Structure 1
């Protein structure tokens, strides 16, 4: 059941194009922080009355101690309607909930209205990097920047991010997206299913991949959830199981699935020690689907991964030194952490995003070399 609270906006703490953080007084209680998504409710001002969803806060869940603005109330007690917040298009996201809203989707245009026969091989061997956690995204993209500057003559590949449904549904919640776009490292963002707020909206994963290829002309596609994944400690009860369908879809559309394994030597939970049971389970369920997997040249990890499917290509990498990783994350305005741990505290997690980046970068450079040869043929 949803827990609602009524409050008054005292001041704007942070103002972004797609997100507002505000300070709200709830009754006679202390001031609290709340997040507002202008795409859903319009842009709020100090002094307005708001209705907030405080469920996660009351349950002590991982919302960062913040409420979420659900409606705005004027001085006359009536809801404030912001005409500018209304969306064009007629595809509804968050269907049959109080927050259903219409968006313009890529499927309504002509760019990806291809025949099924063409769609089956539409990705044309484009590397598609698949990960379980949102924290893998900046680590991977920053690694690509580092490699392109060091080995790729400074040319950054066009990277498009697709946000899956395994975590937060609003893309606006992600500070990493804002940071990466401010650095010019992402050419576009796509949200599909019930995720929303991407520069391109799509109905499903298949069309999201086609949009990355044809709308954003991506050299690489990264598919990972937003912040806030789910795990239960059971064999299959975790949101990362969505990677199974993603890997299979990428293969069916002619892309190269590159899975980033979830690896840690700092996680105290036995099921996540070394190669996480999440990664092991996903690999088991896609044993008949071709994919590329990158792993550190480490006897313990190799023993843990065990015998692999003949459809899976395992690529081993020499350990990354600390100085190189410091160069990778240099000048990033955000904080790179996984489960609250930094790269210094849990290097194994982050270096495996780098190994995936090395492979993806090599695939990109090979494609570029072939393209240049074709130009002079």
Structure 2
């Protein structure tokens, strides 16, 4: 299940908040590794490190790092301060965090009685790669809006893995990241998607929340066996808390897999079968036969949801000016323009919902 290696750090490649990328010498040669200093301390050149090399051996794309499990000869100090939520529970790297909704939190009283999002729009998407283009569409129409990202635990568990999140926080495009379920490392920690949404609204004072899983996506090529089913559950959570759920479609013209061409089967299952509460579904007005295909496929969602046609004029320019690299499944803006336009259209639609 786990491939273990001991190695020696040879170089610090780069770092961003919560993460350090390294070169590490191992018996097979040299590999790229990732360490999370809040968990294991900050490795330095010359340090011996214990690695989990499973992702490298499997050839994973998003997770193609050896992961630093420990710096055995230079352990970090014991944590201090409050925090009783345990995440990554009962794994060797279980960690305690201070949950916004736990009793020791300064926000406990606020969240103990909180029961409504006060109509806050909640944009739900399947993939983490939709986050930046949604923001591009939103900010092109409504600069200055406060947006919180609620990160589900279907992909990466540490929010620190996402370089785009770090950059979006730095430039003010995100007012904060809320990590829920087993995910951790956000500006705010919460137990469930429900308390995460409430924290986005009442702790971070967001005008809009965007909900996706973290980087990475688990799929088996079956109708139900993919981590993005959580998108349908997030629609339900937003609705029961009296938010305004907006279901962003996953659309692709560049994917080689037929099940993801046009409207992905992930969207059709998550929103058509899992989401029991109605949502607004922005449908991009893409040109030509492909646009017709997308509109036809989306029609099956009209049984429960409200389909909203959204023009895409000007969105390509907004996406080209994105402050972070746009990539989905290894494809950039030009390789899968339809994917990014569809996500940006969801952001444009949400801008129109704000008073």
Scaled by the length of structure 2, the TM-score of the pair is 0.92
Show the counterpart of 1:14: 14
d(CA) in 1 for partners of 2:98 and 2:13?
30
Q: How does 1:81-100 map to 2 (within 5 A)?
A: 81-83=75-77, 88-100=82-94
- Cα 1:197–1:26 change in 2 (3 A) is same
Q: How does 1:240-279 map to 2 (within 5 A)?
A: 240-279=228-267
Show the counterpart of 1:330: 321
- Cα 1:112–1:222 change in 2 (3 A) is farther
CA contact (8 A) 2:232 2:275 kept: no
Please give the per-residue CA displacement for 1:299-351, whole angstroms capped at 9, x wherever unaligned.
32222223444541100123435xx412443162x321111222222111111
- Is structure 2 residue 166 aligned with structure 1 residue 178? yes
Q: Offset of 1:64 from its aligned partner?
A: 5.3
Runs of at least 4 residues off by over 6 Å: none
Q: How does 1:99-118 map to 2 (within 5 A)?
A: 99-108=93-102, 109-113=105-109
d(CA) in 1 for partners of 2:255 and 2:224?
19
Show the counterpart of 2:34: 35
Larger Cα-atom Rg: 1
d(CA) in 2 for partners of 1:304 and 1:199?
38
d(CA) in 2 for partners of 1:128 and 1:200?
17
Tell me how large the CA RMSD over aligned residues is: 1.9
- Among 335, 342, 351, which residue is 1:352 paired with? 342
SS of residue matched to 1:106: coil
Q: How does 1:46-85 map to 2 (within 5 A)?
A: 46-63=45-62, 65-74=64-73, 80-83=74-77
Instruction: Count the aligned residue pairs.
Output: 348
d(CA) in 1 for partners of 2:41 and 2:307?
48
Q: Offset of 1:61 from its aligned partner?
A: 2.2
For structure 1, the residue ranges without an aligned partner over 5 or more in a row are 75-79, 149-154, 367-377
Please give the per-residue CA displacement for 1:130-151, whole angstroms capped at 9, x wherever unaligned.
0011110011112222112xxx
- Among 154, 170, 178, which residue is 1:166 paired with? 154
Please give the per-residue CA displacement for 1:345-377, whole angstroms capped at 9, x wherever unaligned.
21111111121112211111x2xxxxxxxxxxx
- Is structure 2 residue 5 aligned with structure 1 residue 5? yes
Q: Offset of 1:112 from its aligned partner?
A: 4.8
Q: Offset of 1:274 from its aligned partner?
A: 0.6
d(CA) in 2 for partners of 1:230 and 1:87?
35
Question: Bigger shift: 15-24 or 98-107?
Answer: 15-24
- Is structure 2 residue 298 aligned with structure 1 residue 305? yes
For structure 2, the residue ranges without an aligned partner over 5 or more in a row are 286-290
d(CA) in 2 for partners of 1:60 and 1:11?
22
